Every structure is written in C-alpha cells, then in structure tokens.
Amino acid sequence: MTENNYKILVIDDMSIIHDDFRKILLPTENQSAEKLEEMKATLFGKTAAATALPPFQIDFAYQGEEGVRYVQNAIIEKKPYAVAFVDVQMPPGMDGVEAIERIWRIDQEIQIVICTAYTKYSWEDLQKRLGDTDRLYILKKPFDSIEILNLASTLTKKWNINKSLYDELLALKKSSEVPQSEGIETALKKMNENVAKLKNLNTKLNEQQRKNITS
C-alpha cells in the first residue's frame, strides 16, 4: 500500500483567496491544545478525541500559466496533485477553463474544482470545452469553509481510491500473465472492495453535487 496523496493546488489571482485556503485547510493549531487533551485523560478519565484534518500539502499559483507549470513539474517529479481548485476569472492571463483544458492534457487523474463568482459558462459550455467527465466540480464564490473542507477531503480520498484501484488492476494484469489462482482471487477480492468503496464515494459525491446545484 503506497502512502496517500494529499497534494492540493490552488490557482487564483488573488493572494487573499490563497490565505483563505490556507486558513481552512492548514489551520493554526493552538499549541497547548494537545498537551491539555493528554492531561484531561488523567484528570477526568476518558474524553472524546478531537478529529484531525488530513495532512494536506498545498501549493499556490496566481495565474493559469503558472498553475499548468506546477502540474507539469509535479508529473515530472512523479508527485502529482490529487486536487486542484481553479478560479475562472484570472485577468490578465488565460481563464480557468482554459487552464483546466491544459492541465488535463498533462494529468488525466487530477480532480478539479472550478471556482466562479458568476456563471460566465453554462453547463453546455463546460461540457463542450472540458468533456463529459467525472473529475469536475463546481464551487460558487463566495464559498463556505465547510465546502472547501468537504471537497478537499472527499476528492483526495477519491483520487487515492482511484489510484489504488488502478494499481490493483495492474497487479491483476501482471498476475494473470502468470496464472496463479490464489493471486487472482485475492486481487479480485480487493478489487471488489475497492469497487464498493468507489460506489459509496460516488454516491456521496453525487449528493454533494446535487446540494451544490440546488443551493
């Protein structure tokens, strides 16, 4: 099992939006909180543990061109991003939709959230430009922190499940070349598990998308 990927790329022309992502996904922890929690167990007995965020790693780009370069370099270094949040309106350079077209030419696996303040593009426009895909999500600005938290954690999970599924498939292909009934059985079992996970995740994603559309 390889290590999970929590790499995120934010492409937005405003530095204050970068700060927003940083605040939400990499919150400043109160340094005394952990020590207090440890001692609370001794003082009051068992207490509920606080839930921690996944260890996100975030890079920031100001322009589409810059963002595309980041994705390119990540692919070359074999440390691809799992998720990108891309702003639509980024004057004076290319806009977000063009940036996404270029990014997907380089990296077919990256999950993308397109952030927009107003609907310059219709659903038909987006489908025409970006294709019928399962990797695109729409987020309206101004966004809520809970939406960013939700998208970042769900989509990194989705990326990692896709990756392990792909790895399993490769392994299965390899093992089927040298027939070993046991190997196939284990791989199939794992694959089944992954398919179930994926289905479950997809339901969640669909639900979120529906909420996004109706809200």
Partner 1 sequence: MYTNLMQRQLKRYLKEDTVISPDWQALLDAVNRSYEHYERDHSLAEHSLKISSQELVIASRYAGMVEVAASILHNVGNILNSISVSTQILTMRNEQNNKAEDLIKLVDLLESHRGHLEVFFQTNPAGIILPEFLKQFANYLDNEKKFIQEELKSLCTNIQHVKNIIMTQQVPGKSTEIIEEIQINNLIDDAITINSMEKYGIHIERIYQKIPNFFGDKVKLLQILVNITKNALESLVESKKKEKKITLKTTMPDPAHIHVEISDNGLGIQKEMLMKIFTYGFTTKTAGHGFGLHSSVRSMQEMGGELKVYSEGLGQGATFILILPRTISSRSEG
**Nearest approach, Cβ of 58 to partner 1 (angstroms)?**
15
Residue 134: helix, strand or coil by DSSP?
coil
**Nearest approach, Cβ of 65 to partner 1 (angstroms)?**
8
DSSP 121: S
Neighbours of 5 (CB within 10 A): 17
Q: Closer to partner 1 by CB, 9 or 25: give it.
A: 25
Please name which of 31, 29, 34 lies closest in space to residue 53, comparing C-alpha atoms. Answer: 29
Residues 6+ apart with CB under 8 A from 84: 8, 9, 10, 11, 67, 71, 103, 110, 111, 112, 113
Q: Closer to partner 1 by CB, 139 or 165: give it.
A: 139
Return residues touching partner 1 (CB under 8 A): 12-17, 19-20, 23-24, 27-28, 30-33, 35-36, 39-40, 42-44, 50, 62-63, 89, 91-93, 117, 141-146
Q: Closer to partner 1 by CB, 122 or 181: give it.
A: 122
Q: Closer to partner 1 by CB, 125 or 144: give it.
A: 144
